[in-house]
Structure 1
Amino acid sequence: MAYPIIDSHIHLFPGSELDTLAWNNPTNPLYKQHSLAEYAAATGSPSNLEGFIFLETDRKNDLESGVGDGSGWEMPLLEVEWLKRIALGTPKEGEGHTEADKKLCLAIIPWAPLPSGAKALEKYVSEVKKHAGESFKKIRGFRYLVQDKPKGVMLQDDFIEGLKWMGKNGYVFDLGVDQHSGGKWQLEEAVAMIEKAHDGVPEAEKVTFIINHLCKPDLAVYNQTDPAFVAWRTAMFTLSKCSKTYMKLSGCFSEMPDTLKNAPVLEIFAALQPYLVVILATFGPFRIMFGSDWPVCTIGVNDAWKKWKEVVEKFCYLASLTQEDQIMIWSGTAIKAYGINELM
C-alpha cells in the first residue's frame, strides 16, 4: 500500500546564493542549484508525496554582530526570503520552482541564533516575520546546528534560555548532533541540554526536540558489542525517555562506508537493522518520521531518495508494523511534531 509521504528533512538553495552557504565551495559536489525541479527529478514525483519540511542550510552568519544590530543575520534572512518565494509560489526566473509547487512546502525550519540568548532570539524572530511575510505561518521551529560546535555550547545559559523561549512561544527545535564525527560527548550533552531546557517548565511550554539523522552513528560499526554502538544505544534509550522528543529516520547514507552506499537495498537494510531495531524499541512509530536529507543523501549514492524510501519500506514490512504505525512513520509523526495539521 502506498501511504501518504511527508519528507521531513530536505534542503533547498538557488544557484544564485551558493556562496552564502558556510560549508559550500566550487569543489563541493553540491555546488549547484538544488531546488524543487531537481528534487522532483530525484523523487520521481510519486503521487503519494504530499510535501516536505525544509531545514535551514547553514548560511554564513555572525552571531556577535547579530546580537546588536542584526547585521550578522543577513544571509539566514536571505534564506527566509528564498523559502517565502517557494511557499507563496512567487519564483524568480531560473530558481527551479513554480507557482504550483507551493502546495509541497508544508513547514519551514530556518536558522536561529540560539547561543545569543532569548532577547536576541526574540528580536531575530521578529525580523524573520518581516522577511517571511505571509509564509511566516509555515515557520514551525528553528535549528542551530551544534554538531560542529565546541563542547559546552548547547549547555550555555543563553542557549538554554533560548530553548525555553522557543517552547513558550510554540516553536520546535531541530537538533543536529553527530556521534560519528563529533564523538559520544555530543550525545551526552544533548541529553543534558534537553533536561535543562525542560527543567521547571510546565509541560505545555516545554520545547519539542526533533532529533536529526539518528544522531549520526558510525554505520560502519556492525558489532553490537562495540563501545560506539553501546554508547549510541544507551543515548537513544535516554533521549527517548525525555518528554516531547521525536526522531528522524534520515541522513543514514552520509554515515555509511562507501561500499555500503551503493549496495542492494536488502544489504543496506541488513547493515542498518541493529540501529533500526533500537530506534523502533525506544521511540516507537508514533515518534519516528521519514526524512531523506536530500540533497546531502545524494553524495556518492545513485538514486538516493528512491533507495532510502525502499529501505524504510523494507523496515516497515519486516517489522510487521500495522497500517496505523506505517502512516505515522511516513507522514503522521511529522504532522504531529511540527503542528502541520494547524495549517491544513
Structure 2
Amino acid sequence: MASDIPIIDAHVHLWPESEISTLAWCEPENPLAKQQSIQEYKAASASSPPKGFIFIETDRKNDLDAGVKDGSGWEGPLMEVSWLKRIASGQPKPGEGHSKEDASLCAAYILWAPLPSGALAMERYIDLVKKEAGESWSKVRGFRYLLQDKPSGTMLQDHFIESLKLLGRKGLVFELGVDQHRRGRAQLEEVVEMIDRAHEGVPEDEKVIFIVNHMCKPDLEVYNTHTSTSFIAWRTAMFTLSKSSRTYMKLSGGFSEMPDSLKQRSPEEIFEALMPWLTIIIAAFGAERIMFASDWPICTVGVGDGAWEKWKKIVERLCSMASFEDEQKKMIWGGTALKAYGIDS
C-alpha cells in the first residue's frame, strides 16, 4: 500500500470505562470490559495511523417502548451522543482516554435509533440527538438499529420501513448489521426485501443509503465453498444487494466469523482462506463501493493486540491480488467511506 494513501477506518467502537455498565452486551467477564478509547485505538493502529475513523454505535441499553412514551428508554443511547460530542469537540472528562488534539480523528459518527417505533418517534428522537450533539451534529451521518439478533420480520414491519424512508429524506444513512453465520439465509432474504421496500416509489436522491457491516457476517468456517449451501446463499445475496447503487459494503468483521485456529495464522494464510468470500465482494461491489473497516476493538477478541494491523495486511493483500490501480486503492482505504457517508474530505 502506498504510504501517501490516507486511511479512513470505517468501523470503530469506543467507550469510556465509566460507561461500560450501559453496554447491553458487555458483562464483567467480557475481555472488552475495559476502557476502549482513542488512546487505546491509536496504540492499536500506530503502525499506520489513520487520518480518521467512523464511530459506530455500541448497542447501549435501551427500552423502545419507554422511549416512545416519555423518552426515558433512550437515556443510554443519548449518553453515547454526549460521549461522542466530547470526542468531536475535544472536551474530554478526566480519565476518558482522549485529548483535545484527537477531535479531528472523528470523521463522523453513527448512532443508535429506534427505527421499529416508526417515523414520528424517529423525528422526536432525532430532535433530542440534535440537542444533545450541539455543534457536533454535523458529524452525525446516520443511524443504526442492530438487526442481527432481532426477531425475524423486524426489518419488514411498516414502522421500520417508514423510518428508513425518513432517513433517506433527511440525507442520513442506515448502518446495516445482520448475521448470516448464525441467522442463516432467511435474514439475508429479509434484507433484500427491506431494501426494495425502502426504495420503492422514492425519488433517487431521497433513497436511503445502506452501508452493510462485516460482509453480512458469512460463515467463514465453511471448508468446501463449491458445495456449501451457506456459501451459495451468501454469494447470491451479495450480487442481489449490489444491484442497488445506494448500497455499500464494509471489508470488516472477518475475525469474528472464522475458526479460532485460523485467527492465529499469518495474514497471508488468512487471506488465502478468505479468498472465496473476498473475490465475491469485489466482483459484486467493485472498489468504488467497498471500504476498509477494522471493527476495533471487537476484532481483537481471540486475535490479540495486533488485530488491527493483521486485518489491514489482509486488505492490502486483497488490493494487490486484485491489481487495483492507485485510484481504486484510495477508494477502498478512505474514498468510499467519504462518499457513502457524505463527508467533506
User: Is the aligned partner of 1:325 residue 2:328?
Assistant: yes
Cα distance in 2 for partners of 1:90, 1:129 equals 18
Residue of structure 1 equivalent to 2:343: 340
Map of 1:41-60 to 2, 5 A cutoff? 41-44=43-46, 46-47=48-49, 49-60=50-61
Residue of structure 2 equivalent to 1:307: 310
Shift of 1:243: 3.1
Preserved CA contact (<8 Å) 2:47 2:309 = no
Cα deviation code 1:319-341 (max 9, x no counterpart): 10111110000000000000111
Shift of 1:86: 0.2
Residue of structure 1 equivalent to 2:169: 168
Residue of structure 2 equivalent to 1:255: 257
Shift of 1:44: 1.1
Number of matched pairs: 341
Q: Where does structure 2 lack aligned partners over 5 or more consecutive residues?
A: none
Preserved CA contact (<8 Å) 1:129 1:136 = yes
Cα distance in 1 for partners of 2:13, 2:172 equals 19
Cα distance in 2 for partners of 1:243, 1:289 equals 15
Cα distance in 1 for partners of 2:53, 2:185 equals 30
Map of 1:232-271 to 2, 5 A cutoff? 232-271=234-273
Which 4+ runs in 1 deviate beyond 2 A?
A: none
Residue of structure 2 equivalent to 1:158: 159
Corresponding residue SS for 2:294: coil
Cα deviation code 1:145-196 (max 9, x no counterpart): 0000010000000000000000001000000000001111111000000000
Corresponding residue SS for 2:54: strand
Corresponding residue SS for 2:174: strand
Name the amino acid aligned to 2:207. Answer: K
Q: After alignment, is 218-227 or 13-22 more displaced?
A: 218-227
Name the amino acid aligned to 1:103. Answer: S
Name the amino acid aligned to 1:192. Answer: E
Residue of structure 2 equivalent to 1:32: 34
Corresponding residue SS for 1:289: strand
Cα distance in 2 for partners of 1:290, 1:179 equals 20
Preserved CA contact (<8 Å) 1:222 1:271 = no
Normalising by structure 2, what TM-score? Answer: 0.98
CA RMSD of aligned residues (A): 0.8
Preserved CA contact (<8 Å) 1:65 1:72 = yes
Corresponding residue SS for 1:248: strand
Shift of 1:46: 2.7
Preserved CA contact (<8 Å) 1:80 1:128 = yes
Cα distance in 1 for partners of 2:126, 2:26 equals 26
- Identity level (%): 64
Shift of 1:69: 1.4
Normalising by structure 1, what TM-score? Answer: 0.98
